[in-house]
Homo-oligomer: A and B are copies of this chain.
Amino acid sequence: MRVSLKDVAARAGVSIKTVSNVVNNYQHVTPAMRERVQQAIDELGYRPNLTARHLRQGRTGIIALALPELGNPYFAELAAAVIDAAALHDYIVLLDHTGGRREQEVLVSQGFRARVIDGLILSPIELEAEDLRERTENVPLVLLGERHYDLPYDHIAVDNVAAARAAVRHLIDLGRREVAFIGARRGHSQPAHLRLQGWREELLSAGLSVDDGLIATTEGWGHADGAAAMTRILETGRRPDAVFAYNDPIAIGAMRVMSERGMRVPEDVAVVGFDDVVEGHFGTVTLTSVSPDKEAIARMAVESVLARLSGQAPEPRRVWADYRLIARESTLGRSTQAARST
């Protein structure tokens, strides 16, 4: 059986409340009393029951983080950063994953998967604005990532259009003219939309034509999806001289296919990814990528939730996180490797 304040109080011969005072470092406790109670605590091995404390205080010290998939190293690294950021504020993180499926995202946003939480950080993929408009759950919600909603929620993301434009600009500056985009999304409206839009805008502003034949859709966002999409492009007979991928795993999957077909990166095809995952730093050809400031995103997400929790939050805000384009061998080649920032 677990020991409670009552047991300690009985042992020390004091009231429950006095024990509570000792546990919580209440100031008006004589050293002698503190000593005596502490001894009883140690002897019995008392540990506060956090559930009871939470019930009493109306908060739990837990925030939930819901990500599409942990298998994607970007999200795994982001999760680690959120856990650390939350720990700074004495918060603990409950982790969930949605598979990027709308149904799961709705459940999470409605709090049906975890109802013990003070706040929620959600990185949506398919979730629609109407789903959020119908949201009845009242724990603070902060949105993460690429989707864009005109709704009264805090939203933290990098400027995907600008970041995508920087990536494509980099390819154009290298003299590439046939820049494919891999990782567009069939059917659903927004995912990948902003990066695709950046690709389009930058091509147009460079006076290049926008060719839908160079857009490849994918089902998911993993290596295999990138490989399949690249294969499809090549089978149409197109030979792009550059690829901008929705994310790094897709880029790496595509590079694998190129390697199988004897195409050289970057000589024949320059490749830029997105997310800057560690994996891209160590391939046979290292990957140029857009690097979002994950720590800042995690920090701002946690702080937004907590601010809203304490009621001091003003208007819902859209916050842009920093990013950098880090050029590596997949665009520069092995010898001339260097870093470049935007």
Q: Name A's B-contacting residues (CB within 8 A).
A: 2, 45, 47-52, 54-55, 60-62, 69-71, 73, 75-77, 79-80, 83, 87, 92-97, 111, 113-116, 136-138, 222-224, 227, 249, 252-253, 255-256, 259-260, 278-279, 281-285, 334
CA distance A285 to B284 in the complex (A): 8
- Let me know if A83 and B96 touch, CB within 8 A: yes
The answer to whether B54 and A51 have CB atoms under 8 Å apart is yes
Q: How far is the CA of A226 from the CA of B69 in the complex (A)?
A: 26
Q: How many copies does the complex hold?
A: 2
Report whether A94 and B96 are in contact in the complex, using a CB–CB cutoff of 8 Å. Answer: no
Q: Give me the 5 closest cross-chain CB pairs, A-B, nearest first.
A: A76-B76, A284-B284, A95-B95, A223-B282, A70-B80
Residues of B within 8 A of A256 (CB): 282-284
Whether the pair A52, B55 counts as a contact (CB closer than 8 A) is yes
- Inter-chain contacts of A111 with B (CB < 8 A): 47
User: Which of B83, B278, B285 is close to A95, meaning CB atoms less than 8 Å apart?
Assistant: B83
Q: Which residues of chain B come closer than 8 Å to A249, judged between CB atoms?
A: 278, 282
Chain B residues near A283: list those with CB within 8 A. 252, 256, 283-284
Residue of B nearest to A256 (CB): B282
Chain B residues with Cβ below 8 Å from A71 are 73, 76-77, 80, 278
Q: With A71-B76, A94-B62, A94-B93 in contact, do A223 and B281 touch (Cβ < 8 Å)?
A: yes
How far, in angstroms, from A47 to B115 measured CA to CA in the complex? Answer: 9
Q: With CB as the reference atom, state the residue of chain B lying closest to A113.
A: B92
A60-B116, A70-B77 as given contacts; A92 in contact with B83, CB under 8 Å: no
CB-based nearest B residue for A75: B76
CB-defined contacts of A62 to chain B, threshold 8 Å: 94, 116
